[in-house]
Amino acid sequence: MSSEEIRDISIRDILHEVISTEQEKHLQKEVAKRGVLRAGNTGIVLQDTGETAGSCQRVAHLRSALGIQLEAPTDANLLMWDGGIWNESYWLEKLKLHYGAERLKCEEEIPIKWNLPDGTPVSGRPDIVILNQDMQSPMLGLELKKICSVWTARDVSFDRGIPKGPKLAHLCQAAHYSKVLGGDAGPLPYKIIYTNYDNFASPLSFASAGTKEKMEKVMFPRPGEPGSENCEYNDAGWLKNVKPHHTIYDIAWDGDHVLYREEGAYGEWTSTPVTWSGIVAYYQSVVNVPKDLGPRPKTLSAVGTKLNYTTCGYCPAKDVCDTHEKKGYNQWLQAIRRLGSGIKK
């Protein structure tokens, strides 16, 4: 090839071609999984109200029963999701240096599977499970999450606005793996690891001093306060960046209930609304969606307090649910299908 022909090569086109091939393989695998409920969509039914939280049973039904993925795999989404995959590789390589590769099992190497009372299978693929020295039994499970926004960093790493803790959906997922992997021996010790690889600029960088005084201190820690070690400040003491860091949570069980606390904090555990009976009831609600769409999911913190936004507000199916949920499953599903190119089957 000539130099001019080489310069005409489009790396962007090559990337699109490769991504398209990867997506086609992914969709083929999704077809094979229809009829199986996924641990990645774990939610709960709240004991006191019967409402769902953590994940939406309608979205889980569309994915598991019909192979409909509501969130379109745009280039931006795919790039972000690949970052999550890279995050798992990062932790795997680091942990190999300590435990050795033979004691680490990932994804398809250590899957979980169990059945609802009606026989419907539920399956999942844990991120990383560390085996005991006997190489036979699991010792510790890890749920790995990449922090992709300054707002997620605020919620999981700083005690500002909402109780500091893991995201409820992530807590549900980790609890699910903990319970099933532990088996008859009891729930497996589990950790949720949040990793931020970037410098996230303060959202108030260009705000006035008065606005910063009013808002920044209720959003992020000030110098010297707990959590400030994960922040960079300018000469005036205002937040400049949220720095790369890890925030890690341990989860434990008190009977049917799930608890959490930050790794290294040896005080009391924090109670959550997550229960194993609630997880089982959630998956039963997914199965029942054709009979009863059920309530929309509550958007809650890890301790069960209401958040100032809704999961539905970020869902492509929100308008469909607004206009069709009272018309029954069939009309609702027809409207979902009419969403068009944003849905991939």
Mean pLDDT of the chain: 91
Q: By percentage, how much of the chain surpasses pLDDT 90?
A: 76
Contact partners, residue 233, CB within 8 Å, separation at least 6: 223, 239, 240
| Predicted local confidence at residue 97, as pLDDT | 97
- Report the pLDDT averaged over residues 154-165: 88
For residue 111, pLDDT over 70 is answered with yes
Q: Is the dihedral of CA 87, 88, 91, 93 positive or negative?
A: negative
pLDDT in tens, 62-107: 999 998 888 766 777 777 778 888 999 999 999 999 999 999 999 9
Confidence band, pLDDT 50/70/90 cuts, at residue 343? very low
Residue 341, burial from CB neighbour count under 10 angstroms (0-12, 13-18, 19+): exposed
The DSSP symbol for 221 reads P
Q: Specify the pLDDT at position 342.
A: 45
Does the pLDDT at position 32 exceed 70?
no
Six token digits for residue 85 = 């995959």
Residue 340 pLDDT = 56
Q: What is the pLDDT of residues 268-326, one digit of tens each?
A: 899 999 999 999 999 999 999 999 999 999 999 999 999 989 999 999 999 999 999 99
Q: Tell me, what's the pLDDT at 83?
A: 86
Position 12, amino acid? R
Write down the pTM of the prediction.
0.91
- Average pLDDT estimate for 217-239: 94
| Reported confidence tier of residue 29, pLDDT bands at 50, 70, 90 | low
- Backbone φ and ψ for 168, nearest 5 degrees, come out as -60, -40
pLDDT of 124-153, one tens digit each? 999 999 999 999 899 999 999 999 999 999
Partners of 193 in the β-ladder: 144, 248
Q: Are 303 and 342 in contact (CB under 8 A)?
A: no
